[in-house]
Amino acid sequence: MAMIDTVPSLIAAALDALVFVVLAWCVWRAMGRSIPIAVIPIVIGLVLAATGVVPASWGLPSVIGDNIGWAGVLVLAFAAGLETRQSAHLPGHADASAQTNARKLRFLASAAVALLLPFCAGTIAAHFHFTQLPGWAAPRGGEWLGSIAIGLCVAVSALPVLIGIVRELGPLHRPLSQLALSIAVIDDAVLWIGLAALLLAADGGSLFDGVSAAQWLALLLIVALALSASAVTRLGLSPPRWAAWAVLPVFLAVGSWSTSQLGLHELLGAYFAGAMVPQAWAKQVPVERIGQFALLALAPQFFGHSGLKIDGEVLGWASMQAAVLLLVLAVGAKLAAVLICPPAPRLQRREALAVGALLQCKGLMEIVAATILRDKGLLSEHAFAALVTLAVLSTLLTGPAFRWLVRERAAESPTREMA
- The pLDDT-based confidence of 291 (bands split at 50, 70, 90) is confident
Distance between CA atoms of 162 and 89, rounded to whole angstroms? 12
Q: Which of 291, 323, 347 is nearest to 395 (CA)?
A: 323
- The pLDDT-based confidence of 264 (bands split at 50, 70, 90) is low
Q: What is the DSSP letter of 192?
A: H
Distance between CA atoms of 167 and 208, rounded to whole angstroms? 44
Q: What is the SS3 assignment for 37?
A: coil
Residues in CB range of 278: below 8 A, 6 or more apart: 85, 229, 232, 233, 237
Distance between CA atoms of 273 and 252, rounded to whole angstroms? 6
334: left (phi over 0), alpha (psi -120 to 50) or beta: alpha
Rounded to two decimals, the pTM is 0.70
Q: Which of 395, 403, 396 is nearest to 419 (CA)?
A: 403
- The pLDDT-based confidence of 98 (bands split at 50, 70, 90) is very low
Per-residue pLDDT, 278: 85
Distance between CA atoms of 249 and 360, rounded to whole angstroms? 32
Per-residue pLDDT, 329: 92
Per-residue pLDDT, 138: 86
Under a CB-based contact definition with an 8 Å cutoff, are residues 130 and 173 in contact?
no
Express each pLDDT in 363-401 by its tens digit.
767 877 888 888 888 998 888 888 888 888 888 888 788
Under a CB-based contact definition with an 8 Å cutoff, are residues 109 and 341 in contact?
yes
What is 2-411's CATH number? 1.20.1530.20
Q: Which of 226, 229, 274 is nearest to 249 (CA)?
A: 274
Express each pLDDT in 135-160 by its tens digit.
888 888 778 888 999 999 898 877 66
